[in-house]
Structures are given as C-alpha cells and as structure tokens.
Amino acid sequence: MDVEPSLPVKRKSQRNKHFDEIDYDEAILQAEDAFKVNYFLVMVDMAITSLKSRFEELQSFPSIFGFLLSSVALKSLDGSHIKDRCTKLERTLSLESGACDIELNDLISELGVLRYALPNKSMTGLEIFEYVRAADCYPNIYIAYRILFTLLVTVASAERSFSKLKLLKNHLRSTMSQERLNGLATICIEKKLLDEIDIDTIINDFASRSVRRNF
C-alpha cells in the first residue's frame, strides 16, 4: 500500500511553570508509544475480554444440553445422572424465561424409556429428534430438542445480518420499500442456499409468464 511503517514524531512542547511548582520533566510519549498505549493495547484488551466471555458461554452450553447431543452420551447415563441433568436443564430454563415448558418428572421418565428404545447405533441429536418426532410419544423430549435446536449459542449470525443491512440500505437506496429490502437481505444472508438454486429455470419461467401477460 506504499505506507511508511512509522509514525511522525511530535515535537516536545515547553510550558511555563508556576513559581511554586516542582521542577520535573514531563513524560511525553512518542507517536508509536502513544498509538500502542491509547489504541493498540485497548483494542487487544477488548478482544481478549470479548473472546473470554463468549468461550465461557460456549463451555456452559454442553454442560446443560450435552446429554441430548448424541445417543452415546444419552445411553452412557444411569438413572441418577439423568435425573441430575434433567434437573439442571429445567432449572436453567426456568431462570432464563421465568417458566419452563418441560415437566421434570415426565422428562426423566421419557428419557429412561428412550434410552432402551433407540436403535443400537450411534445417532446425532438431530437423528434422535427425528426419531422422537416420528414416534410422537415423547412430548417433553420433543420440546427439549426444539429448545436445543432453536437456541442461539452466539450472536455472530445476527451481527453479520445487521452488517449486511449497512451495505444494502445506503443513501443511494433511501427510497427502497420494506419488501424489497427484506428480499435483498435474505438473498445476501442465505447466499449458500442461493448458489444451489437454478436461476436459469426461474428466469425462463418468469419470462414465459411475462409473454403470456402481454398477449
């Protein structure tokens, strides 16, 4: 970028001292030291604090929902451990929302039956959820998995969505309607799904409909 990796040195200023002021040399930071102290170290501290708090939240997630993430983890628990995990889950949900949609005793009973009803193969949490939904006889487990799969572990996706809005809604598009803004935001956010869609088919279908409307 043809930018010099050095900062200009600020001239040391002299100020008049009062007669009763102690004579001492004031510490004046050079440009590079001032940048390091006032900007670089501040940003590093903020980044470390943010990463630390987010990783602490991620570490608490498996301790609450970990026994639901796989059939291996679920079958490795005995009756007392299942009760402890369900109690912790119910207490956490009650503290977060003030009310819990899960009945604790029923959840413990359903998990005790599900441990023996699952096939003898390794299943992920999503496969267990599909099995529970198809069986339609484990209502509390079904609710627990719905909470698990709709719970946001981080806010990174939401932050990226708001960052996209800054690119879409600028001063050149100030008269854009809400419907068009929602459509463009969805296209930008779900770009991976958009790449899998056959756009030529949609264009040809739209063109054929336009021709019929003209006639």
Q: 131-143 pLDDT, tens per residue?
A: 988 888 888 888 8
Token pair 């987010």 is found at 54
> What is the chain's Cα-based Rg?
30
43-99 per-position pLDDT tens digit? 888 888 877 877 777 777 778 888 888 888 888 888 888 888 888 888 888 876 666
> CB neighbours of 100 closer than 8 A, spacing ≥ 6?
90, 93, 94
- Which residue in 82, 159, 142 sits closest to 115, CA to CA? 82
- Segments in the chain forming alpha helices (H): 31-35, 41-65, 71-75, 79-97, 104-117, 125-135, 139-150, 156-168, 178-189, 191-195, 199-214
State mean pLDDT over 188-202: 82
Q: What pLDDT was estimated at residue 19?
A: 62
> Where along the chain do its domains lie?
56-150, 156-208
Weakest mean pLDDT among 51-65, 129-143, 177-191, 196-210: 51-65
